[in-house]
Amino acid sequence: MASKQASKRLAREFKAISENPPPYISAHPSDSNILEWHYIITGPEDTPYHGGQYWGTLIFPPNYPFAPPAIRMHTPSGRFQPSTRLCLSISDFHPRSFNPAWEVSTILIGLLSFMTSEEMTTGSVSATAQERKLFAARTRWWNSTGGGSHAKNTAQKGNVKAGDGGAKFRAEWPEIDKENWRWMTENNIDMNTGLEPANPSCSPIGIPGGSGAQTQAVVGAVREAGTGWLGRNKLLVIGSAIFFYVLIARLLGAEEDGGL
């Protein structure tokens, strides 16, 4: 249970962050527990996370602000292990380095700064920029479907993993969840993978509804066109060369016989 001082401080910080949210950051305490905060970081431009929707939690101790929160990011990002406590100077891994003057906005700005760096720590992972872009493209789907799962697991202390069918995210971010489902419907997102499906009406070479015979015929034509006239008429060229060689040899032979 939160101390009176912690409750008062966190209520004041919620008012401040609601009125003046930092760039790319939204956050609020859970209705059932003021010590459990939920945040969303929107991936900044010029980063592999651009457009991604990264959801996580801050779990504050009852004696906040004299001790730091546990920090987790639940959405797979290619930067952090999902739902794993992160070892940062602003997290509960380093209580002695925490400054009571730091607020929720300070903590989340620090998390965003660390996320967009390449520094490694407990809970971070390595990935290529392309892999992180793929994760970013699937974040809305992951948040609102629990990674495509349909099982129902009760989330405890904000430690959410894939498997709850998106229930926890939906409870904390109902309006954003609705926007996510609208976005997935409009973009025909595959609910099993979180990606836009390939067009099933296209044949391998892009002929709508093309049959196998048509495909082979067109592929043959493409190959033939690519070889050029010489490639298509090899036998004719070789035969002509042999004919002219024999003809010239005979003419030369006849001239030698006439000279004798």
Q: Which of 59, 87, 125, 137 is catalytic?
A: 87
Closest by CA to 139, choosing from 37, 41, 18, is 41
Q: Contact at 8 Å (CB) between 136 and 50?
A: yes
Question: Is residue 202 among the annotated active site residues?
Answer: no
* Residues that are catalytic: 87
